């Protein structure tokens, strides 16, 4: 039984969202063409089976698809500890480097999660020159005592040295300062040269050349994710042309996907789980569009991926938070006040506004602060019992057992998620990041 009482955290047993996922149904590689992946359509029950190439047939004219245009960064950096002579010759080619990892007994892997506060938003960190700080995971941390790690690299035919220095350790994560001896190059260029695309942990193989293209959406622009917004991996130019022919609009926002998206829920009930916070960036034009769109139910808003869903639902509640601050007669409202915490939506429910009202509150705040882009962090957790405010439908992949992503599906379908997943397993659908997907209708309007 689902419980989502007002002002209470939803007490939902995560065990109720477990299922058996055979290894052979995990997609370890992508399909030959992006839009070849199978598509299951759900509207109160399974109503159709097709593939992504024909998704426009299941979407009405004048609908709007909301895409997450975040770009996956090459977040994994490998250093060799205390071996300066081999640093100079260390393979720069990703395939060669991956093949040699097993032979090295002194490799330290640094996984960049997100920049520290003084280097945010993410764009600031990616464009930093000479040095930058990131919150990181470190593989082989016990081998890394206090010394500075160094690596000689070649960027656009320019030789330089990048160094990594531990600043602080907290709760299994590290603040790492990266520095390099050439002021002309950005951290983005450094990562592109020496970093590796971080495939999901359940894909147990080396990154290959195909992954550099296919583990990235065709419309990725804003650098900052450490995992792909995978629902968008199915969309190619031909599919976009089909959408345009039917007058199905496309809009973009940014949520930088963190490694927490793969974090298993280890608590017995979901109220005890800590949701990861992620950066979002939303242009004023999209907020204006959502404000104007509310009046017409014939123009559904369809989130492409759980990241897009969480972002558009988050900005609704950010508008509600601002409205609440105004009611409390708080004169100074900072950008940090916009940040949405894990259970804010459930505690703000009494303050609910219409979508138009909420968007207009945001627009007024942005105008007052002379901002054309809303930049904040969200921890929004969507669970069964959540009332969708903006999202009319969701396009998404099949998710891992006992995951927060599966809870989003259950928030739309109720118990019928079990029938959907059982059907997909029985009919050889491919699961997880490189796998097949679904179109779910929420019918909240």
**8 A C-beta contact, residue 221 and residue 72:** no
Q: Which two tokens stand for residue 47?
A: 């109503």
Higher pLDDT, 337 or 270: 270
Helix locations, 44-186, DSSP H:
84-87, 94-101, 122-126
Categorize the per-residue pLDDT at 102 as very low, low, confident or very high, splitting at 50, 70 and 90: very low
C-beta separation of 315 from 374 below 8 A: yes
pLDDT tens per residue across span 220-244? 999 999 999 999 999 999 999 999 9
Structure tokens at 50: 């097709």
Name the pTM for this structure: 0.90
- Candidates 42, 36, 148; CA nearest to 423 is 42
Above pLDDT 90, what percent of the chain? 76
Query: Quick one: pLDDT at residue 274?
Result: 92
Separation between Cα atoms, residue 332 and residue 369, nearest integer Å: 11
Cis peptide leading into residue 121 (ω within 30°)? yes
Question: Please, is 250 exposed, middle or buried when counting C-beta atoms within 10 Å of its C-beta (0-12, 13-18, 19+)?
Answer: middle
Share of the chain above pLDDT 70, in %: 90
Structure tokens at 141: 């941390």
Confidence of residue 81 (pLDDT cuts 50, 70, 90): confident
Say which residue the tokens 């100079």 belong to: 88
Q: What is the mean pLDDT of residues 38-43?
A: 98
Q: Does residue 426 carry a pLDDT above 70?
A: yes
In the chain, CATH 3.40.1780.10 sits at: 14-71+219-441
Per-residue pLDDT band for 335 (boundaries 50, 70, 90) equals: confident
Q: What is the pLDDT of residue 388?
A: 96
The fold of 14-71+219-441 is: QueA-like (3.40.1780)
C-alpha gyration radius of the chain: 22
**What's the pLDDT at 204?**
86
Angle between the N-to-C axes of helices 284-293 and 355-368, in degrees from 0 to 180, rounded to the nearest 10: 150
Pairing of strands 222-225, 64-68: unpaired
Whether 94 has a pLDDT exceeding 50, the answer reads: no
Average pLDDT along the chain:
89
Please, which pLDDT band fits residue 329 given cuts at 50, 70 and 90? low
- Indicate whether 358 pLDDT > 50: yes
Per-residue model confidence as pLDDT tens digits over 250-263: 999 999 999 887 77
What is the model's pLDDT at position 90? Answer: 33
Q: What angle do CA 243, 245, 250 make, to 5 degrees?
A: 40
Per-residue confidence (pLDDT) for residue 327, from 0 to 100:
67
Say whether pLDDT at 2 is over 70.
no
Instruction: Report residue 444's pLDDT band, with 50, 70 and 90 as the boundaries.
Output: low
Tell me the C-alpha distance between 111 and 134, whole Å. 9
8 Å CB contact between 343 and 270: no
């Amino acid at each position: 039984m689902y419980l989502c009482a007002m002002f209470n955290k939803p007490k939902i047993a995560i065990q109720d969202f477990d299922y058996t996922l055979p290894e052979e149904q995990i997609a370890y590689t992508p399909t030959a063409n992006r839009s070849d992946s199978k598509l299951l359509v759900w509207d109160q029950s399974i109503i159709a089976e097709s593939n992504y190439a024909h998704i426009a047939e299941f979407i009405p004219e004048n609908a709007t698809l909301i895409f997450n245009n975040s770009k996956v960064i090459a977040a994994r950096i490998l250093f060799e500890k205390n071996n300066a002579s081999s640093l100079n010759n260390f393979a720069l080619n990703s395939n060669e480097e991956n093949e040699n990892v097993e032979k090295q007994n002194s490799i330290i892997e640094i996984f960049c999660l997100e920049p520290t506060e003084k280097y945010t938003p993410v764009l600031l960190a990616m464009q930093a020159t000479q040095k930058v700080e990131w919150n990181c995971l470190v593989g082989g941390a016990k081998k890394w005592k206090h010394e500075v790690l160094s690596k000689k690299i070649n960027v656009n035919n320019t030789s330089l040295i990048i160094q990594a220095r531990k600043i602080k350790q907290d709760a299994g994560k590290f603040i790492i300062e990266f520095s390099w001896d050439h002021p002309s190059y950005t951290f983005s260029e450094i990562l592109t040269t020496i970093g590796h695309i971080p495939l999901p942990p359940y894909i147990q193989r080396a990154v290959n050349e195909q992954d550099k293209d296919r583990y990235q959406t065709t419309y990725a622009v804003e650098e900052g994710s450490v995992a792909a917004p995978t629902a968008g991996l199915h969309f190619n130019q031909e599919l976009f042309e089909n959408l345009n022919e039917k007058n199905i609009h496309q809009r973009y926002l940014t949520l930088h996907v963190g490694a927490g998206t793969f974090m298993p829920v280890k608590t017995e009930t979901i109220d005890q789980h800590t949701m990861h916070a992620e950066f979002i960036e939303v242009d004023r034009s999209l907020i204006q569009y959502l404000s104007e769109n509310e009046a017409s139910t014939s123009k559904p808003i369809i989130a492409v991926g759980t990241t897009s869903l969480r972002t558009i639902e988050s900005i609704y509640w950010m508008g509600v938070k601002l409205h609440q601050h105004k009611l409390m007669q708080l004169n100074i409202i900072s950008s940090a006040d916009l940040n949405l915490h894990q259970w804010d939506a459930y505690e703000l429910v009494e303050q609910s506004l219409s979508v138009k009202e909420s968007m207009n509150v945001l627009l007024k705040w942005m105008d007052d602060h002379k901002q054309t882009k809303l930049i904040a962090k969200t921890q929004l957790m969507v669970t069964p019992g959540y009332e969708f405010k903006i999202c009319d439908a969701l396009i998404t992949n099949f998710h891992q057992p006992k995951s927060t992503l599966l809870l989003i599906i259950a928030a739309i379908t109720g118990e019928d998620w079990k029938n959907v997943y059982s059907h997909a397993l029985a009919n050889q659908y491919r699961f997880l990041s490189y796998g097949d997907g679904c179109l779910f209708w929420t019918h909240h309007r």
